Structure 1
Amino acid sequence: MSEYGVTPTGFVRKPLDVILAEQEAAMRDAFGPGVIQTADSPFGQLNGVLAEFAASLWELAEDVHQSYDPNQAEGTRLVDLARIRLLEKLPGETDVHLRQAITNQNVAHIDEADFERALLAVEGVTWGKIYSNSTGETLSTGQPRNSVSVAAIGGTDEDIAAVSWQYIVPGITAFGNVAVEATISGKCRTIRIIRPTVRRVRVELDITKTPDRSGCPPPTDAEISGLLAAMTAGETRPANGVNASLELVRRTIESAYSTITVNGARFAFDEEVLADGPLVLDFYEIMSIASDDVVFA
């Protein structure tokens, strides 16, 4: 096996000095051992031109080989490799993050991870989550065995259904509260998805504030309210069916602000009376907390 080119340990590019030495040896084979090949001789000049050209071909070969390796590919080639896996580069996503998605680096459930990425790539989708039930039993959420649930906020039902059909194999039930009739690959399809109802949640907090070690003041009430509002928005918001609870707000606030202690929290839907949590949401509901809906005791 050649020591250059594709090897068991990767691609090895032939160095320019080796190429030039091989070119000079070929000249001696063709014209005899006495052929003049000094740097300023005609043959020497020709050797240099041919060696440079051959070196550029080796560089191109190395680039082509590496462009098919997700760990080395960049830019457009990396996007092409992602599409082989039915993955799209998300808006603002870096090559590093896309590379991790292609190789499933640090991902435990790669089937759900790929599906979820594809869902989040649908135009207009601001939040999405995939639930699979392979336990053989109906879950407490009502999701039957051998089923997949596709939950999403934003986007159109038809676009979400089209993506779902790429990942839900025959024999697996699609579970949800919305039935979507769509034409996919020229055929009429019916698929169920989850469109969670966004429930307005009001919060009353009982907190203790202390200055930090440098004597700087703790965050303002407005900053704390904004933190809870941000927590329930975007791709990382608590999933559908997750309850509003003291544990949730305490973890969110105290992990962000070491100078805040959350002593208690009360919750309510809309204009209902505030009460100790947890405030229970069902599988088809998802919470949303606005900054104006957070008050302090």
Structure 2
Amino acid sequence: MMTMVVAKRFLQLFLLSPLLVHGYQYEDNAEHHQITWGQSNANTAYFDDKTPANVTAVVGKRARLPCRVINFNKEDHQVSWIRQRDIHILTVGIFTYTTDDRFKVFHPEESDEWYLEINPVTFRDAGVYECQVSTSPKIFLPVSLSVEVQQARINGPDELFIQNGSTIRLICIINTHSENVGTVGWYRDTTILDYDSPRGGVSVEIEKTPLKTTSKLFLTRAYKGDSGNYTCAPQFAEAASVLIHIVNGEESAAVQTAKSVMLARDLKLLSTCILMALSPLLCSR
């Protein structure tokens, strides 16, 4: 056990020794922060210039940071991943050098790819990571990781009054940077909507693009029993809800009248407060 600890410490010092000798600072000393791009005729290792420099991942899912090394010689070179904020060695070759088991290297056999995988991702994982190749001099490829939450949003206000007999139309948009958001379920209160229920007239349309998923819910011939809290619940994203009231014509008019009365009362109260606040200034003149 002691031998393994000593060997691990020696490896860390070996990898960081150029940084210590030159007083290397990742953020401030760009002189040693070398990125070697496409040199197809070179005999030394270099990074593929098509490697993405920015990756966006979703909280709770897997992030995969790319690093493609051309002309890699496994006899002479090592590929390492380093977290920039604390200069922590995460992986060397295919081995992990951190107690956080969310980190590992994905390296398909006989390929040039050396992905750093983080699974699952948290907000704290956001930042810059460096793929390092132990050439002479060492070369570094920074990859920036952004982390966000997939979140659903239902278009319109949080509370809707729908005329009895009309169609309920709800549009739910889920932002996404992952392959998919999973299944998108619709609930009324705590009951999932059954599109094949005897009620009939319940349907959903799904549209997907690389940046968002849209789920459209339609309920024709709405009646009182359709009132309730409607929730758009993606499998891998935060849900969104809207409260729906099914009202008759006279009820709808009464609701609008009540809203107008409340608005007028609030405006009157606001005007009174402003006059009271300004009265000392007016009197002083």
Normalised by the length of structure 1, the TM-score is: 0.19
Greater share of residues in strand: 2
Task: Answer 1 or 2: higher relative contact order, Cα 8 Å, separation at least 6.
Answer: 2
